[in-house]
Amino acid sequence: MSLISKAPAEAGLVLVTGGAGYIGSHVVLALRDQGRAVLVLDDLSSGRRSAVPDGVPLVEGDAGDRALLADIFARHGVGTVMHFAGSIVVPESVERPLAYYRNNTVKSHALIEACVEAGIGRFIFSSTAAVYGMPDRLPIDERTPTKPINPYGSSKLMTEWMLRDSAAAHDLRYVALRYFNVAGADPQGRSGQVSKVATHLIKIAAQTVTGQRAELQIFGDDYDTPDGTCVRDYIHVSDLADAHVAALRHLEAGGASEVLNCGYGRGHSVREVLAMVERVTGRPLPMRIGPRRPGDPPALVAGVERIGRTLDWTPRHADLETIVTSALTWEERLVRQE
């Protein structure tokens, strides 16, 4: 890990939208660990007040509320906006596309426009590998054509385009980070994934281990992959959070706008993940093979050359055992608290 770097005097506050959510709260922790001043804006529709650390101010409100944004920018010396607020469930985006375009795209438009008007020149955006859709070559680098196959991916890609075009026209630089499969929890136990209606593999495995689910279903074992199950590039949420801090330093140092994949550049199959869960717990995990889940690409692995060359970022938790162990520890804590 790089040493704590002093922020430039004019750096200002970091406004974190969605800072009470899973990834946003880990980024707030990483910023605080670096001694950075942070302000969270979250409507608490899926985030939790308790995920915001003591001493970090929380404005309860909508990231697309222009009057609120103008007020925040007038009162606080915001230097950078990090934008996490949004909707993230792929199948839900298929059922309610307009809700996704409103929540992810229209509100991002309001936020970007408010930044341009207030002269806030640095923006870090929470994007997704879903912008690539079903790529036919691995690893997926940032030049891979973007062809999202669901409204979630499209809603995020449209925000990337707004940032690209705004950066060309205005005094704005941005980093869009395209996340692969984010998992795990803060190693110090300060935050983790909370949502009960989880769809992500490692969260569901953790719920199964802790008895909240009777069994886990493997969505298809007849893919053209080494063991027949889908392959994904799982990245520890705290490493992802550090990548945001590195992106902030990049922009503060005058770095250019960038679109960067966030992963480790290596894949694990569903079976490998579940075998790791069994190894960590020392117990068999109740599971069965089910049908394929519609829209699942067989394999997604990030090309990470660009992020490696652009940001001063060294992952600290890049192994599956650490990811799974931290997710299970967090889930056990959640269950104890109920």
211 Cβ contact list (under 8 Å, min separation 6): 335
* In the complex, least distance from residue 146 CB atom to ligand UFG, rounded to whole angstroms: 12
Q: Which one among 48, 296, 306, 308 touches ligand UFG, defined by CB under 6 A?
A: 296
- Give the footprint of ligand UFG on residues 150-169 (CB under 6 A): 152
* In the complex, least distance from residue 291 CB atom to ligand UFG, rounded to whole angstroms: 10
Specify the amino acid at residue 326: S
268 binds ligand UFG (CB under 6 A): no
Per-residue binder mask for ligand UFG (CB under 6 A), 176-195, x = binder: -----x--------------
293 binds ligand UFG (CB under 6 A): yes
Q: Is 264 labeled as catalytic in the residue annotation? A: no
β-strands 268-269, 231-232 pairing: antiparallel
Other beta carbons less than 10 A from residue 126's beta carbon: 28
Per-residue binder mask for ligand UFG (CB under 6 A), 87-126, x = binder: -x-x------------------------------------
Print burial letters for 74-101: b (CB count within 10 Å at least 16), e (below 16).
eeeebbbbbbbbbbbbbebbeeeeeebb
Question: Which secondary-structure segment (H or E) carries 139?
Answer: none
Binding part of the chain for ligand UFG, among 23-31, 127-135, 137-145, 159-167 by CB under 6 A, reads: 127-135
278 binds ligand UFG (CB under 6 A): no
CA atoms within 13 A on the CB side of 337: 8
Whether 53 and 32 have beta carbons less than 8 Å apart is answered as yes
- Cβ-in-10-Å burial (0-12, 13-18, 19+) of 9 comes to exposed
* In the complex, least distance from residue 229 CB atom to ligand UFG, rounded to whole angstroms: 7
217 binds ligand UFG (CB under 6 A): yes
